[in-house]
Amino acid sequence: MNISVRPPEGRVWPADADAAVPYWVYTDPETYAEELRKIWYGPHWLYVGLECELPNVGDWKTTTLGEKPVVMVRSAEGEISVVENRCAHKGVKFCQARFGHSQELICPYHQWSYALNGDLQGVPFRRGVKRQGGMPADFDLSQNGLNRLRVEEVNGVVWATFSDETPAFREYLGEKFWKHYTRVYDGRKLEVLGYNRQHIPANWKQMQENIKDPYHAGLLHVFFATFGLFRADQKSAVDIDDEGRHGILISRKGEQEKTEAMADIRNFQGDLVLEDPRVMDVVQEFPGEETVGMITIFPSVILQQQVNSLTTRQIVPKGVGGFDFHWTHWCYADDTPEMRLRRTRQANLFGPAGFVSADDGEVLEMTQQGACGSPDEHFILQMGGREIAPTDHQVTETAVRGMYRYWRKVMGL
């Protein structure tokens, strides 16, 4: 592990408060523990999965929110429950498979059984055996169920929160982001195309930052720049919500041509041609001229629409210096076979072996390596100035500044 150096006493923040961030935000175990409490288990909606992953009553899926294992289960017709995957008796993580189907949830240790919604139903030998032993007379089944989370299913996506204070999901997003969200999650039925899973040895916030940072997209991702999928000279925008926590990068597909803006990209490959260009067979499918909408919903997920590739990218923090990254690639249930194939092909651009997103995982690991030796130094966040406001260009770190302003507010730092 890469946690050895302690941050300075009092966790000093640089004087240039909005435009610099100390590296201890990536390395300090106490900060991380506080993040779990105040952010992950605080008043925030966390991504759990897609509604279509559980077609039938009794279907369940396990996942992790923050560091807490949970079960998302279709507990009744038209109802999805999210319960902590922790037996009320001794805390056993009772569901071990990724997916399953059962009429009730049973813990393997002493076989306490729970209804699909988490209510405790049965405790073996509750009355003892031959009048010996058993639970005390005042043991109340109804008071000892699984911990249930608040749940909202919103246009095919299931969200949960540990906090009673979290506002309704639409309010949590804000009207602006509700509009961005419903552009792709428009109420049509979704269907899973498949999963990708990777562990990235970097602090979880770096993934949020990476997707809030359009400055890197046209530079690091030479494949994108080369084929015009994400270019600095395209008409584009960065939007952030009023709190600064959610962000979206909006862009258009351009052409493979050398322009003045491309001169700054040292390794631009203007002569590169594909032998089999089917991976670049892109069709316009959403209203408007934009072909890219990368949404970061703080803190747990990235909702990707990159040309015809649609994924949810769930962040599961694993200690201060790493996170698991779960990709769910999906399509619309009424997509043609051609569209499914197109989306599947474009998945070669993304995921742990993606032509563009493998770059991201690699560079985040390098960032963590650079940060962990110098927690008391800080990084520069001045691209596009010190403002925190939507822009109509990509040469900015405004959304990253927004996230840290919000983060400091929640963390009380």
Partner 1 sequence: MSAETLTRPAAITRDAIRDLFDDYYATLDDVRLHDWPDFFTEDCLYRVIPRENYEAGYTLCTMQAESRGMLKDRVTGLTRTQMYAPRYYRRFPTAPRIVAEGEGPDAKPYVQVRHNLLLVQTLIDKTSDIVLSAVCHDKVVVDEGRLRFVERIVVFDSEMIPNSLVYPA
Residue 158 within binding range of ligand FES, rule CB under 6 A = no
Per-residue tokens: 379: 């990084």
Question: Taking CB within 5 to 8 Å according to partner kind, which of Fe ion, partner 1, ligand FES, none is near residue 222?
Answer: partner 1
Question: Taking CB within 5 to 8 Å according to partner kind, which of Fe ion, ligand FES, partner 1, none is near residue 89?
Answer: ligand FES
- Shortest Cβ 231–partner 1 spacing (Å): 14
Stretch that binds ligand FES, among 29-37, 103-111, 173-181, 185-193 (CB under 6 A): 103-111
- Shortest Cβ 241–Fe ion spacing (Å): 21
- Shortest Cβ 294–Fe ion spacing (Å): 9
Per-residue tokens: 91: 């805390």
Query: Contacts with partner 1 in 98-117 (CB under 8 A)?
Result: 98
Residue 141 within binding range of ligand FES, rule CB under 6 A = no
Residue 112 within binding range of ligand FES, rule CB under 6 A = yes
Q: How far apart, in Å, are the Cα atoms of 116 and each of 93, 94, 176, 399? A: 15, 13, 36, 40
Interface map 210-249 toward partner 1 (x if CB under 8 A): ----------xxxx--x-----------------------
- 131 vs 266, beta carbon nearer partner 1: 266
Residue 87 within binding range of ligand FES, rule CB under 6 A = yes
Residue type, 265: I
Residue 52 within binding range of partner 1, rule CB under 8 A = no
How far is Cα 282 from Cα 252, in angstroms, rounded to an integer?
12
Q: Quick one: which of 345, 386, 393, 408 contacts partner 1 (CB under 8 A)?
A: 345
Residue 324 within binding range of partner 1, rule CB under 8 A = yes
Beta-ladder partners of 150: 161
Stretch that binds ligand FES, among 109-117, 126-134, 181-189, 303-311 (CB under 6 A): 109-117
Q: Quick one: which of 198, 339, 383, 393 contacts partner 1 (CB under 8 A)?
A: 198
Q: Spell out the SS3 assignment of the chain.
A: CCCCCCCCCCCCCCCCCCCEEECHHHHCHHHHHHHHHHHHCCCCCEEEEEHHHCCCCCEEEEEEECCEEEEEEEEECCEEEEEECCCCCCCCCCCCCCEEECCCEECCCCCCEECCCCCEEECCCCCCECCECCCCCCCCHHHCCCCECEEEEECCEEEEECCCCCCCHHHHHCHHHHHHHHHHCCCCCEEEEEEEEEEECCCCHHHHHHHCCHHHHHHHCHHHHHCCCCCCCCCCEEEECCCCCCEEEEECCCCCCCCHHHHHCCCCCCCCCCCCHHHHCCCCCCCCCCCEEEEEECCCEEEEEECCEEEEEEEEECCCCCEEEEEEEEEECCCCHHHHHHHHHHHHHCCCCCCCHHHHHHHHHHHHHHHHCCCCCEEECCCCCCCCCCECCCCCCHHHHHHHHHHHHHHCC
Stretch that binds ligand FES, among 106-114, 153-161, 194-202, 274-282 (CB under 6 A): 106-114
Do the Cβ atoms of 150 and 87 come closer than 8 Å? no
Q: Around Cβ 275, how many Cβ atoms within 10 Å?
A: 4
- 69 vs 352, beta carbon nearer ligand FES: 69
Residue 374 within binding range of partner 1, rule CB under 8 A = no
Residue 1 within binding range of partner 1, rule CB under 8 A = no
Stretch that binds partner 1, among 130-138, 282-290, 363-371, 397-405 (CB under 8 A): 363-371
Residue 107 within binding range of ligand FES, rule CB under 6 A = yes
Residue 197 within binding range of partner 1, rule CB under 8 A = yes
Residue 360 within binding range of Fe ion, rule CB under 5 A = yes
Residue 90 within binding range of ligand FES, rule CB under 6 A = yes
Q: Quick one: which of 89, 150, 318, 408 contacts ligand FES (CB under 6 A)?
A: 89
How far is Cα 394 from Cα 389, in angstroms, rounded to an integer?
13
- 61 vs 205, beta carbon nearer partner 1: 61
Tell me which residues touch partner 1 (CB under 8 A). 98, 192-201, 220-223, 226, 267, 269, 272, 274-276, 278-279, 324, 329, 344-345, 347-348, 351-353, 355, 358-359, 361-363, 365-366
Tell me which residues touch ligand FES (CB under 6 A). 87, 89-90, 92, 107, 109-110, 112
